[in-house]
Amino acid sequence: MADGARIAAEARDRAYSTPLEDFHVGDPELFRTDTHWPWFERLRAEDPVHYCKASPFGPYWSVTRFEDIVAVDGDHNTFSSASDRGGIALGDSFEDPAGASFISQDSPRHEAQRKVVTPMFTSGAMMGMEPLIRSRAAAILDELPRGETFDFVDKVSVELTAQMLATLMDFPFEERRLLPRASDLLLAAPILGGGSPAGEPARQAELMATFGRLVGIFAERAASPRNDDLISMLAHDPATNGGGDPYKFVGNLVLLIVAGSDTTRHSITGGLLALNENPDQYAKLRADPGLIGGMIPEIIRYQSPVAHMRRTAMADAQIGGKTIKAGEKVVMWYVSGNRDASAIETPDAFIIDRERPRQHVAFGFGVHRCVGQRLAEMQLRVVWEEMMKRFPLIEVVGEPRRLTSNFVKGYEYLPVRIPK
Ligand code: HEM
C-alpha cells in the first residue's frame, strides 16, 4: 500500500475505534497529517454536535454539520466573537477589546469598524484593481523555471498573495514579504496550535519588530492626506484609527494581513494539489479554461483554508438537539460542514463544474461573513487564468508539507515541476 493510503487507512481505523467521548478533533496533528477526515465523518454521522470535555485548549463543543454551522454563525446575539470572552479561535486569546480587530468584536463596534473597509471590496473596486493584479501575477509566472523542481508555495502562492495584499494596502513593494511573514508568525502562536522552529521567545521578538514596522507605516499614512488604499482608510476613520494609539489600531491591520494573505495563499496551493490528485478534472480544465469561474468556489470549498471559527455562548442554546450552556466554547468546523453530504452532493469529490459550487460555508455566514470574498475569488480567477495561458500542466512531484494548525488549513511546501 502506498504511504498516503496506509496513513489514511490507519487514521480511519483509529477514528472508528476511539470512543466518541475521547474525540478531540482540534488536535493540530490531525491537520498536519491530513488525517482529520474520518474523525469529522464519524462525528457528522454519530454525534454532530459533540462535546469534548478535556483538551489542551480546554473543553469545547464541535459543530460539524452544514445546517448547524449556519445556525450558530447566523445567531450572533447568542454566540459571541468578543475578544474578552476568548475570541474566534479554539485556543483562547483573551484580549482587551480596545485593541481587538473587528472580527473579534460584537455589535455595535463590529459593524462600525467593518463599514470602514467595505468600500474596498465592492465590485467596482475589484474591477479597478484587476489589471494591476493581473500584470503582477503574469510577471511572477513568466519567471518560473521550466524542467526543474521548485517550491510552489514560496515561488507562487506566497509571492502572489504578498503582491496582491501590497497592492491593496499600497504597502512598500520591496517590503511586501513582511506581510505573509507577519501572518506566519501570528499563526505559529501556541494558542492556535502552531509552533515555531526558532522557539517562542524568538517568534515573539520577530513579531514585535514586524508590528513596529507596520505601526510606522500606519503612522505615515495617518499623517498624509487620505487615499483609497486599505491602510489609509483605516488610518483616517475615527472608528478604526484608535485615536492615534498604535495599540488600538494595529489589530485591524493585522486582521487584514492574516485574512487577506493566508486564505488565498493556501487556496492557490490547494487548487493545484486538487487538480493533480484529480487528473480527469485537470484534463477537463485544459479542454475548457472557461470553467475557471466555477472552479474557484469549488477550490475554496474543497480546501476550506479557514478550518474553523469559534464562538462563546452568551445564553443557554439548543443546537442539533444538544443544550449548549452559557459561557461554553463552540467551534464551527467549516472544514467538516463543507463535506456534509446532507447539504452538498458527493462532497468528497473535487468537481470543477459542479452545479452549485457556491453551496459552501468556507466564507462563514452571518454578520461576520468574509468581507474579502469577492476579492479572494477575483484573485484566484486571475491567477488561474494566467497560469492556464502559460502552463497546461504544473506537475506536483512530491508530498506537500502541511501546516500544524487547527485554524488555518494550508501548506508550508509543495514541490512541483513545469515540463520543458
Ligand atoms: C472573515 C474565509 C479571503 C478579509 C472571514 C471568515 C471566514 C473567512 C471563514 C469568518 C466568517 C464568519 O465568522 O462567519 C476566507 C476565505 C478566503 C478569505 C476562505 C479566501 C479563499 C479574504 C481576503 C480578505 C479577507 C482576501 C481581505 C483582504 C476578511 C475579514 C474578515 C473575514 C476582514 C472579518 C469579517 C468580519 O468579522 O466582519 N473570512 N476569507 N478574507 N475575512 Fe476572509
Tens-digit pLDDT profile for residues 87-134: 999 999 877 777 889 999 999 999 999 999 998 899 888 888 899 999
Per-residue confidence (pLDDT) for residue 260, from 0 to 100:
86
Average pLDDT (348-355) is 98
- Cross-strand partners of 52: 60
Q: How far is the CA of 83 from the centre of ligand 1 (A)?
A: 17
**CA-to-CA dists, residue 215 to 78, 185, 212, 250, angstroms:** 35, 16, 5, 7
Residue nearest to atom 26 of ligand 1 (CA): 260
**Which pLDDT band, with edges at 50, 70 and 90, does 320 fall under?**
very high
Per-residue confidence (pLDDT) for residue 193, from 0 to 100:
65
Lowest mean pLDDT of 25-39, 81-95, 234-248, 272-286, name the range.
Answer: 234-248
Is 14 touching ligand 1 by the criterion CB < 6 Å?
Answer: no
Q: How far is the CA of 373 from the centre of ligand 1 (A)?
A: 7
According to the 3-state scheme, what is the secondary structure of the chain? CCHHHHHHHHHHHHHHHCCHHHCCCCCHHHHHCCCCHHHHHHHHHHCCEEEECCCCCCCEEEECCHHHHHHHHCCCCCEECCHHHCCCCCCCCCCCHHHCCHHHCCCCHHHHHHHHHHHHHCHHHHHHHHHHHHHHHHHHHHCCCCCCEEEHHHHHHHHHHHHHHHHHHCCCHHHCCHHHHHHHHHHCCHHHCCCCCCCHHHHHHHHHHHHHHHHHHHHHHHHCCCCCCHHHHHHHCCCCCHHHCHHHHHHHHHHHHHHHHHHHHHHHHHHHHHHHHCHHHHHHHHHCHHHHHHHHHHHHHHHCCECEEEEEECCCEEECCEEECCCCEEEEEHHHHCCCCCCCCCCCCCCCCCCCCCCCCCCCCCCCCCCCHHHHHHHHHHHHHHHHHHCCCCEECCCCEECCCCCECCEEECEEECCC
Best substitution site from 179, 233, 370 to test ligand 1's pocket, by max atoms within 8 Å of Cβ? Answer: 370
Residue listed under C-alpha cell 495563499: 265
Q: 114 phi and psi, to 5 degrees?
A: -60, -40
Q: Which atom of ligand 1 is nearest to the CA of 165?
A: 28
Give the CB-side neighbour count of residue 376, counting CA atoms within 13 A. 27
Q: Decide: 239 and 112 in contact? Cβ < 8 Å.
A: yes
Which CATH class name applies to 3-417? mainly alpha
Residue of 266 and 190 predicted with greater confidence: 266
Report whether pLDDT(1) > 60: no
Is 307 touching ligand 1 by the criterion CB < 6 Å?
Answer: no
Q: Which atom of ligand 1 is nearest to the CA of 261?
A: 26
Best substitution site from 253, 263, 311, 369 to test ligand 1's pocket, by max atoms within 8 Å of Cβ? Answer: 263
The proportion of the chain whose per-residue pLDDT surpasses 90, expressed as a percent, equals 73
Q: How far is the CA of 259 from the centre of ligand 1 (A)?
A: 5
Report whether pLDDT(292) > 90: yes
- Please state, rounded to an integer, the average pLDDT across all residues of the chain: 93
Tens-digit pLDDT profile for residues 124-165: 888 888 999 999 999 999 999 999 999 999 999 999 999 989
Q: How far is the CA of 17 from the centre of ligand 1 (A)?
A: 36
Q: Find, among 304, 299, 93, the residue nearest to 187 by Cα.
A: 93
Is 364 touching ligand 1 by the criterion CB < 6 Å?
Answer: yes
Is 103 touching ligand 1 by the criterion CB < 6 Å?
Answer: yes
Q: Per-residue b/e over 243-254, b at no fewer than 16 CB within 10 Å?
A: eeebebbbbbbb
Average pLDDT (406-412) is 95
Q: Decide: 188 and 203 in contact? Cβ < 8 Å.
A: yes
Average pLDDT (359-372) is 97
Per-residue confidence (pLDDT) for residue 183, from 0 to 100:
87
Is 189 touching ligand 1 by the criterion CB < 6 Å?
Answer: no
Average pLDDT (250-265) is 89
Report whether pLDDT(76) > 90: yes
Q: Beta-carbon neighbour count of residue 381 at 10 Å?
A: 16
